[in-house]
Amino acid sequence: MAAESPITQENVEKILKGITIPSPPQIVADLQMEMAMPDPDLNAMADMISKDPGLAGGVLKTLNSPLYGNHDIGSISKAVMMLGMNTIANIVNTLYLRDSMSQQDDIADDVYKAMIRFWDSATDVARACQLVAQRLRYNNPDMAYMLGLFHNAGIPLLMQRHSDYPAVLAESYLLQNHRIIDTENTHYESNHAVVSFYAARSWKLPPMLCQVIAKHHSAIDIFTEKDRTDADEKYLLAILKLSEHITGLFRAIGNTDEDLEWTQIEENTLEYLGLSQFDYDDLVVYAADNGIGGQTYFM
């Protein structure tokens, strides 16, 4: 089902079929509100995070990891001042999104391991999106980060709902001439792209990001045929698909050594971004130098 279909309670219930999308915690809404102010108060943001010891500890552990340069930061106030509100907000969203979608107690061991791999890959893709956006001088790399983080948010929800989902997902990455989500539609009459769309909407991501998330496995049609997709949406989608490939997402969650989707869109996607083969190769090296590639950061 496409995201453009009428959004009614009946349609939502049919698509989600017993899947509960967690709402963002109040602190996420409070941080978003503060960041939207004409003159955001960084001290107020630090206070909000510091009031939750578990969250504060997770933020500091992440900031002091190799992903952010092995800092030695001992307080949230210092972290906010050093790295800025957008970086801290991205980390908060990552930690809360992961925790809120991984709370089921009776998950089978193989599904739990698949979920761990998923969250590592989600972090990698988000960071890669931000890095690529920065290299391309895209005006909002933090939006690109949120796209990478949320675009597959439906996957852990479907893992919790269907015990065979990891196997179905792997199967979908092996089929040529099919969208990855078509296999899921056959099995469940729903798919992770549309569930991710509703998750992003629930967390009040910008409508443009929600639309890109809904379409992210229709990239073959969008990049190889004449398509009416908004230019800004298409640019973000190109950043996302490039970032997925650079991080090896097809291996992490598709359990395959070949990115069949990328082979069909590579030429058109790189051309749309204005990247030569040399530029692409340089990005791959740059991503690896920045620690992107399957490591565990959010523990």
Q: Is residue 291 part of a domain?
A: yes
Mean pLDDT across the stretch 135-161? 91
Residue where a domain stops, chosen among 100, 121, 139: 100
Which CATH number goes with the domain that contains 169?
Answer: 1.10.3210.10
Structurally, the chain folds into a number of domains equal to 2
Q: Is residue 9 part of a domain?
A: no
Same domain membership, residue 95 and residue 153: no
Distance CA 99, CA 155 (A): 14
Using the predicted structure, report yes or no on whether residue 8 has a pLDDT greater than 50: no
Q: Is residue 12 part of a domain?
A: no
Same domain membership, residue 117 and residue 85: no
Report the candidate in 152, 162, 163, 186 with the shortest Cα–Cα distance to residue 254: 152
Q: Is residue 194 part of a domain?
A: yes
Same domain membership, residue 164 and residue 142: yes
Same domain membership, residue 88 and residue 35: yes
Q: What is the amino acid identity at position 154?
A: G
Instruction: Report which of residues 32 and 6 the model is more confident about.
Output: 32
Q: 201 is in which domain, residue-wise?
A: 108-299
Same domain membership, residue 244 and residue 112: yes
Please give the backbone phi and psi of residue 133, each rounded to the nearest 5 degrees, phi first: -60, -40
Distance CA 165, CA 171 (A): 10
Dump pLDDT digits (tens) for 38-85.
888 989 999 999 988 888 898 888 888 776 766 788 889 988 888 888
pLDDT of the residue at 160: 84
Residue where a domain stops, chosen among 72, 100, 128: 100
Q: Is residue 189 part of a domain?
A: yes
pLDDT of the residue at 5: 46
Same domain membership, residue 148 and residue 51: no
Dump pLDDT digits (tens) for 216-230.
999 988 988 777 778
3-class DSSP assignment, residue 136: coil
Same domain membership, residue 192 and residue 74: no
Residue where a domain stops, chosen among 100, 129, 155: 100
Q: Is residue 284 part of a domain?
A: yes
Same domain membership, residue 75 and residue 176: no
Tokens of 175: 């089929």
